[in-house]
Structure 1
Amino acid sequence: MEERLRFSLLGPVRAWRGEDEIELGPPQQRALLAVLLLAEGAQVPAGGLVDAVWGTRVPASALGILRTYVHRLRQALEPAGDTASSMIRSTGDGYQLRTSAAELDLRTFRELLGRGERARRDRDLKGSAARLRDALALWQGTALAGVRGEYAQTQRQRLDELRLSAEAARLTAELGLGAHTETAAELTGLVAEHPLDERFRELLMLALYRSGRQAAALDTYREAQSLLADELGVDPGPALQSLYQRVLRADTGLLSPSPDLAPPEHALRAAPVPVPAQLPADLPVFVGREAELAEVARLPFGGAVVISAIAGTAGVGKTTFAVHWARGAADGFPDGQLYLNLRGFDPVGQPVPPEHALRTLLESLGADPRGLPQGVDALAARYRTLLTGKRVLVLLDNARDAAQVRPLLPGEPGCLVVVTSRNRLAGLVAVDGAHPLHLDVLSVAESRALLARRLGPARIAAEPDAVDEIIARCARLPLALAVTAARVATRSVIPLAVIAAELRENAGGLDAFHDSDTAADVPAVFSWSYHALTPDAARLFRLLALHPGPDTSLPAAASLAGLPRPHTRRLLSELVQAHLVDETTPGRYASHDLLRAYATELSESEDPPEQVRAARQRILDHYLHTAHAAVALTDRARALISLPRPAEGVRAEEFGEDAGQAAAWFTAEQAVLLATVEQAAGRRYDVHTWQLAWALAKQLHLQGMWREEEAVHRTAMDAALRLDDRTALAYAHLGLGTATTGLGRFDEARVHVERAVELHAGSGDTRACAESCRVLTWVAEQQGDPHAALGAAQRSLALLRAHDGPGADDRRLRTATASALNSVGWCHVLLGQHREGLDHCEQALALHEQLGDDIHAAHTWDSIGHAHHHLGQYDEAVTGFGNALARYRRHDGMHWFVSGTLMRLGDTHLSAGRPDAARAAWAEGLDILERLAHVDAEQLRTRLRRLDDPT
């Protein structure tokens, strides 16, 4: 049996296989291992590893040295010849260490803290103290001892704060057990070691007071008061002041353990993150379900990860029940409530993949989307890390199966996950310990109460027999009852007996509405509501089933129907009033999945095939032409493809010259656009498929969604091959090259991009060929081949300068030329040819200024400043950075670019011997990044700390 690996971070960085310690090599190699261990299974980009290991003094060959260190660590950690189960994996552009296959003292420490906290909540002070003593015994000195650098120091401070919080929690428990004298002696040493930490002052005062030393307790406060005033110019905090007053008046209530003196529940947590509150609104007319509510309330979720799997037939009210209960329990989860619709049973779209779900949840928890790793395992590890020590309620709605849910489960105590699904999720119950709760249809009494709440008790009491038949015809299904009640409410003069008769006459069947042991004729309700619609609204309801999903906007619905927007708005309002469509957010519409299934059946049976094809053509044209218009505004250097004319009736959206509005549209429609590509490919609309992929490429790439970008362009490649279209094939290769570069597969990327260059050159499309060469520049640079990068950039520039086709003098061509000049200049800088690089950047600047393109001019000024910095021309560099800042500040939304320029400006000031000016620039940049809650803030904090303490 293979001996298990053990790692230690709470002291010197060490590793063992069984009882044998492993030699980990030089300090920088140990630092690399420490960074991977601290990531706890998440991917760490190579750039992040370089920054952590070398800080600001990065050698030119850092990436090569990094690969050597990884190779040596693999040899040290893995059994000889075992490459199949590598501990350190290459993932995308970085590395990942499988900590799940080893013991890590930091993970054990956190687990013991959690157990100690649960014991405290259960008032088991003896057990809490024991667990915390065990946790603290894991420390073997200063954390990360032997690892140097700013990154290690930052992590060391974070871990040390966690240790001190654990010490405070343990000493609180010891005080509660009556160890006043012993605790006072220990706290005296801690106060001397950490004189400004009010936690230990507060505990020492309490220990002294309980030991009968009131005067010494008061002296401890006065000492803190004097010290804080001298060192920081502040008074003691409210908790310490309150305790002083109580000791001063000899409050006997302090002689027994007091919950308000215990360390706050947040003491063992990491830095605060934004508190999400995402639960949907509670339904005001919720009735019944007392037994089920009581069952969920009995779940022992105090301090434990509990999964409540709420299952039941479609329309039974799972989401309504889960939201109602979750809102009532929300106060027990002060760190937030997350909600995510997993769309497990959407009749048209696909279930939300775990990777997409994890990205959404991580962003809700405050994670920067640009810094997220690739792959489900790494994302899940980051998600579990963010939830460590927190009390968060997670409501996962409409799950497909256990496999979709399992990566979304927290790994530490304190959280509650509620899952709704049409499935019973037996795997989640058996493997993950979920508590199953099956929601059946309402009882007759609950159904009557629901109708009374919606229609008024007088109307229900007046026709009891009709009410009973309505309940029976609706099969006591909450959704059916709600739809019926909504319709009845608008016909107040019609007797309920007539409503019951209509249901009886229109009874039909839809398999999705039937539970295995319940006969439910809910389709009669939908049919009845549907037939009450105006003809245009009924047609729109059917056509909405053709929309790719998950929701639609008013302009898209107008194109789908081929109608003017005002008319479409009125039709959507009619559907909302009939409860056949919901306005989920202002201007966006969606239907319950059963209603979409019903609409699909109607469309298949009532709409002629040629009309269905025409509607599909219109909706695909809508998204293609709108996306094309958005690309034209958000990427002014890109060569635009030619589109066929849109079908008659298409109402593509227009943005004028508002690039911000175009970017916002891409963000709002991202899920719809991905579904549209999938639908176009599935229906063999091959031209739409590759052109939509072209339109989506830049947006997906900028968001780090490289796997989605690759999938979209593989779909486009299949479409291009079916069309036998060389232009489509070239763009598909270019998109795959861009995506695989993002994923770190540089050799594969280069093959794709070189093929795109070849195809565009063969077709004579010089603009597209130039664009492909510019991408090739980037790929070659990532490969570490600056000579090839320069050659590609120079070819791109030459093609653009020689272009004499239609639009040779257009603004886009000149913007592309300026971008190519920048690429050439940058490659010269990579090769150490700084003056050549500066010359090309200055030519690019002249073009941008002629075009009046402030933002691109700002980018170029920033590059010019950087070039001057490397040439040692610090005054010129300051001028360049200043010009960049002036232009950035003229535009909204440029805060991140401003902060980056300020960082580089500070570097230049420091190199020029102006530390005060550097401090001012960095402090301003840090203020911006902190307001943005951006991860780059730590880089500026490190620079400022090093400036104040150069040792």
Structure 2
Amino acid sequence: MSFGILGPIEVWRDGVPVNVGPALQRRVLAALLVDANRLVSAHALVDRAWGTAEPRSGRRALYGYISRLRRALEGHDVSLTREEGSGYRLRVGPEAVDLHRFRHLLDRGRAAPADEEAEALFQAALGSWRGEAFAGADTPWFNTQRDVLDGERFAAELDLTDVRLRLAKHALVLTELSGRAEAHPLDERVAGHLMLALYRCGRQAAALECYERLRRDLAREMGIDPGAPLRRLHQQILAADPALHPAPATPAVVRPPRPARPVPRQLPPWPATFVGRGRELAALDVLLKEPAEGSGRPTIFAVGGTGGVGKSWLALHWAHQHLDRFPDGQLYAALCGFDPAGEPVPPDRVLRGFLDALGTPLQEIPTGAEAQAGLYRSLVARRRMLILLDNARDADQVRPLLPGSATCLVLVTSRSHLGGLTATHGSPHLTLDTLPDTEAREVLTCALGQDRVAAEPAAVTALLRRCAGLPLALGIVAARAAAHPGFPLAELAGELDDASGRLDALTVGDLATDLRAVFETSYRALDAPSARAFALLGPAPGADIGPRAAARLIGTPLARTRAVLRTLEAAHLVQQHAPGRYRMHNLVRLYATERCQDRHGDDRDAASDRLVDFYAHTAYAADRLLSPQRTPIAPGPSAATDAPSFLSDAPTSMAWFEAEHPCLLAAHRFALEHGRHGQAWRLAWALDTYHWRRGLLPDRMALLRATLAALDAAGAQPATRALAHRLLGRTLVALGRHDDALGQLRRALALFAEAGDAAGTAQTHLNLALAREQQGDDGRALTHAVQNLRIRETLDSPPREAEALNAVGWYHARLGHHEEGRAFCERSLTLCRRHHFLEGEAFTLDSLGYIAHRSGRYAEALDHYHQALALRRELGDAYEEADALACLGDVYHALGRTAEARRARTQALALYRDQDRGSEAERTQALLGALGHAPAR
């Protein structure tokens, strides 16, 4: 098999095209082929193939595409395997993929000892192209890769031209060069090729005219002159220098040795207390294992992260570890991109310093920045050097300082993401996170000594918690503690424990190590809308936030909000820790909250109202999609008129609840703390269905208890308080807290009676029936179920009447009245299906399965339970899914189908454990043990 991505995405078997599926499936294949034989995460594949258009079912669609690709490719020296939990590796010979064959041929061409061989290899490499790379694939990742590959192709074309000019084939390339010069009018290397070819073809005037045209264009467009190499070629053409004619093949030209140049050693000292970062150091080590010398371009690696996370220390530590790999020297520049005390250093000033370090006499340093950059690149060409560019502001500050030689390695640190370097130079990027607790403790131990750290374990734990793993914060704390060796660490820990003064405590008086100053410089660099958004995000409830919620908080359109979040992410003031989820480091958040209080205090309350209102309004709309038959409450006033527009059905609503659940709990706490009882009640009510279906009963109980206390204190309407008591009572039944549950449900009955709410009274009887069932009193349970049915038959609510019929049938069956129970349940099933009441249908099928099982009709029981299980999974109701699986296991066991019984019970046990349902898990564990296989606890 062979694969083509340098053009349309295609596959051939023995030269015959192979159909590998629709466009998206081919994109997944291409995303794997770019990194052939390397592990690619599922998240990366979804991002590459779909980009910003990722559907809600993107991960499931990916699995389907992977499965079909595996079948299409198997048995042809190609394998597609899943490894390490969530990644995929496509194993294929590099020569079978045109991209990797192209790069391999280029490497050989650039290393070829003779120009004739190099020409043939370059021609073969360029022959791998069939058109635009990844033709038709339009996602951000593919577009970036396409730009990178276009750059590689262009560089290969220029390298081939160099070879052909050395082989005196100037007439052959002249037409091609004329077209290339028109396409790239400001490219000095292209202009030099054309000038030389024209001159050798006897067209000296045209060569000079070409130079003059370029000079004018550069002056007009960029305000610069041509670089030194092109100016030198111009002078040679004017002087008809014989050296411009092709050198004879023999004898070989013997060039005098170059004068010795000094070897710069500019790195700052090795960080004395560096600890940890094993994974990140290993990532940098890969740069040495896979050098880019054959690629014709330098290796460039960017290290990013928030201020104080240890970017510079990591880069310096790694550089000092590997000095022997850079025998021709190390250049270092502090670019001061986010220096609290000054402006970023201009690139031309850095270039002057580099030229001086490389031994360039002052009189030979040209005046123009472009000419200086050209001379710098010439001096480092073919030298094995490390260039460390520390604290860059942006990609524009870095580009003039990049060498052109593949023998050089460039390390750049920055608080910005420097995505432009990835786009133009293909540079990988490593974002540093905070230190784990073990490494953070080691920082303090190195600075303060083992004895002092061991003497106050509680204080050290408090310091570590407050510093939150930020190396700068740890270093500042260590410096303060070291300055007073006789003071207890508990004193400093107490000072940091006051959140309002924590940033004041984290300072030693030096601007460069003042944490607030570090954050302030990043904040000052933001435009006004981004600075306001950053400040408002600080005190917002929730550990993270999504773009839609952020848009409501900030009060800007969604598209503008996404742009602002990208700006903050690029500045490392927020981190996108999961697709579409943004969070702040704790100390960054503390600083943002300060800025909000200082500069946006008037805006803060309105912003918080908008955010909590968005959560309440959207949760209400999502719950209506999850459970449309549920009796609604008043949704409340809302400014978020478009909030539910992105919720289309129950699965999207469930996914939204999954993503936002911690934020919804935080918003509920915020609403209670700030007296917004209406918002708190709507959030508690709207989360009830989700909590039940996911088995999050402790969360459900805590939310309702807190809300009830607030409603009672606020003197809410009896019907509202009654509903809250009923929902809490139903939760306590499921948790096995029967006495408490009965108390809550009786209180609900009294309040519903006071409010004259017959529907609420009926539903409470249904919950009381369940409470009595859990106590083992099925007779009293049936009494409550019959009362519920009598009320429901008067209220013209078919779904609730169906629910009541099923309950009466269920308790008849529990009492051994199987035929009576079956009759009630079949009436219920008819109503449920007529009114598309899926949840009621699932419960009724469970009841019918139970009746069939107890009546010895096992095949019928299996059918009912399988239908119920399918509905539970469609509804996302994991709580009831566990019970359906357990019942299936019982029927399979009765039939003697041990393997199927074991499978069903094992799946049920996993769900019970996930939901902390201890008694059900123990019962299922025991049943599995009786089958001869009991999973480990």
- TM-score class, shorter-chain normalisation, is 0.3 to 0.5
Return the structure number with greater relative CO, CA threshold 8 A, min gap 6.
1
Which structure has the larger Rg over C-alpha atoms? 2
Q: TM-score normalized by structure 1?
A: 0.44
Q: TM-score normalized by structure 2?
A: 0.45
